[in-house]
Amino acid sequence: MEKYVMALDAGTTSNRCILFNKKGKICSVAQREFPQYYPRPGWVEHDANQIWATQISVAVEAMQKINAEASQIVSIGITNQRETTLVWDKETGEPIYHAIVWQCRRTAEYCDSLKAQGLLEMIREKTGLLIDPYFSGTKLKWILDHVSDARQKAEAGQLLFGTVETWLIWKLTKGRVHVTDYSNASRTMMFNIHTLKWDTDLLKLLDIPEQMLPTPKPSSCIYGYTDASFLGAQIPIAGAAGDQQCALFGQACFDIGDVKNTYGTGGFLLMNTGNHPVVSQNGLVTTIAWGLHDEITYALEGSIFVAGAAIQWLRDEMRLIESSVDSEYYAKKVHDTNGCYVVPAFTGLGAPYWDPYARGMIIGLTRGVNKNHIIRATLESMAYQVNDVIRAMEADANVSLGQLKVDGGACANNLLCQMQTDICRAPVLRPKCVETTAMGAAYLAGLATGYWQDQEEIRANWQLDKLFTPVMTLDQSKKQIAGWKKAVARCRNWAKE
């Protein structure tokens, strides 16, 4: 009977389970969306129990779809929306508050106060990160400060903190294992990416009791075994990494300088920088890509908060399209945006601007601008944002981009891929399997359990679907980018009192 590695991909809007075989082929998929909560403008929450319930249900469903038995699952890899912050009671297992999602801006003012204290360099030096509400540390502090008795209980050792992979591992092992992996830990603003330990200075600054934090581990190792009641047997959980780091791994970006961009809800461009962290001078963050075979691989990352989510906004809020796929059809009805720009700064701007007070904008409107132009401008905004990050990365790493591997839901859009190569002037490569995030998690779990022998075997599984190269003139591309920069400048600081 065929053996599989199970990848659990816990995303921002949906949870997925994919079963992969040795060739990296998808043998079964199940996916389920879960509710998003927006209790106040700029706030985003999830219900941790709903994350768990949807994740375990898709795992069961993916197995049922191909009648796979538990004995056929050699190991499980988990990949997840990063930074999202959960706190639960150690005894009852009940979350004490909704999960605060990475997109949530509620700690913007507190972050301002940290910046005003001149802590930017110290935090960057230890964590590789900038000070922004995006990262988990200030979200965790918010929960401890605002949920009644939370700090007191945390100090008494009654509460546990985790990002989503920690929560899922804890649930799958019925509360036996409380761990995180280095890549997820590196997104918390509490973890020292050089010593690979929780940083006591930062914990003191944020007033976080260390006993509530999970044990940091490599991204490929056996963390524990699933309780047999869930999937029918005790299965090793042997891989875990943040979704963007997993996509880098799944794209076989194993060499220094390899770059991928994922166009999902957000957009995330990562460059492998090898065993040495590169410090950004241009608004990027330094992050741990993965810990594997006793080695740490670092990456430079540009995180764009809204990419595919802007297409969802066209669909759900503006009702200009019925499905995301339609965006290509309408955008192709016009040759350009007729001078219109959409800046989708709905939750502020991430890299390389880091402005939590920026807000979305449509600019350049004239009477000739129609629905198709606005849809086209929204698609183009993804390409411009990615280009901004590429230029920052080139400056930081002192290289020019050779090629860009792409993945994520929106990369199915051929027009978007063409826009991307036209704007950034590098070849854009789309692989046959764009489920690179889940694939990366499966590879990490499969390497730990001997299903795959080494990274060379994984590299051989990567196959090109389509190559995109520039057709737009360089002059035209420069002109459009100049317009984009002007538009971005106008939306900065909008929500600041």
Ligand X SMILES: Nc1ncnc2c1ncn2[C@@H]1O[C@H](COP(=O)(O)OP(=O)(O)O)[C@@H](O)[C@H]1O
Residue numbers belonging to the annotated binding site: 12-14, 16, 82-83, 134, 243-244, 265, 308, 312, 409, 413
| Binding-site residues from annotation for ADP | 12, 16, 265, 308, 409, 413
Residue 349 CB-half CA count within 13 A: 29
Print the binding letters for residues 289-328 with ligand G3P: x by CB under 6 A, - otherwise. --------------x-------------------------
CA distance 173 to 93: 12
Q: Which is nearer to ligand X, 324 or 455 (CB)?
A: 324
CA distance 11 to 6: 16
Residues 87-106 binding ligand G3P (CB under 6 A) are 102
Give the Å distances, CA to CA, from 1 to 59, 69, 232, 305, 398: 19, 10, 17, 43, 50
Dihedrals phi, psi of 206, to nearest 5 degrees: -90, -5
Judged by CB under 6 A, the residue of 224, 264, 291, 348 near ligand G3P is: 264
Judged by CB under 6 A, the residue of 163, 173, 265, 387 near ligand X is: 265
Q: Quick one: which segment of 30-38, 77-85, 198-206, 311-319 binds ligand G3P (CB under 6 A)?
A: 77-85
In order, the DSSP letters of 74-111 are EEEEEEE-SS-BEEEETTT--BSSPEEPTT--TTHHHH
CA distance 52 to 165: 10
Q: Does 15 bind ligand G3P (CB under 6 A)?
A: no
Helix axes 243-250, 436-448, angle to 10 degrees: 80
Q: Are 160 and 128 spatial neighbours (Cβ–Cβ below 8 Å)?
A: no
Judged by CB under 6 A, the residue of 81, 173, 226, 421 near ligand G3P is: 81
Judged by CB under 6 A, the residue of 327, 387, 477, 480 near ligand X is: 327
Give the Å distances, CA to CA, from 281 to 123, 130, 195, 492: 14, 11, 22, 20
Q: Does 348 bind ligand G3P (CB under 6 A)?
A: no
Shortest distance (Å) from residue 433 CB to ligand X: 13
Q: Which is nearer to ligand G3P, 81 or 387 (CB)?
A: 81
Q: For the chain, how many residues are written?
A: 497
Count of residues touching ligand X (by CB under 6 A)? 19
Element (H, E) at 465: strand 464-468
Q: Does 216 bind ligand G3P (CB under 6 A)?
A: no
Q: Does 309 bind ligand X (CB under 6 A)?
A: yes
Amino acid at 38: Y
| Binding-site residues from annotation for glycerol | 82-83, 134, 243-244
Q: Which is nearer to ligand X, 265 or 381 (CB)?
A: 265
Q: Does 82 bind ligand G3P (CB under 6 A)?
A: yes
Q: Does 54 bind ligand G3P (CB under 6 A)?
A: no
Judged by CB under 6 A, the residue of 244, 273, 347, 385 near ligand G3P is: 244
Q: Quick one: which segment of 7-15, 195-203, 268-276, 343-351 binds ligand X (CB under 6 A)?
A: 7-15
Q: Does 266 bind ligand G3P (CB under 6 A)?
A: yes
> 444 by DSSP, 3-state: which?
helix
Residue 383 CB-half CA count within 13 A: 26
Element (H, E) at 142: helix 136-146
CA distance 5 to 104: 33
Structure token pair of residue 487? 């538009």
Q: Does 344 bind ligand X (CB under 6 A)?
A: no
Judged by CB under 6 A, the residue of 311, 342, 448, 487 near ligand X is: 311
Cis previous bond, 352, omega within 30: yes
Q: Does 308 bind ligand X (CB under 6 A)?
A: yes
Q: Does 250 bind ligand X (CB under 6 A)?
A: no
Shortest distance (Å) from residue 133 CB to ligand G3P: 12
Q: Are 357 and 349 spatial neighbours (Cβ–Cβ below 8 Å)?
A: no
Q: Residues in the site for ligand G3P, rule: CB under 6 A?
A: 11-12, 81-83, 102, 242-244, 264-266, 303
Q: Residues in the site for ligand X, rule: CB under 6 A?
A: 11-14, 264-265, 308-309, 311-312, 324-325, 327-328, 408-410, 412-413
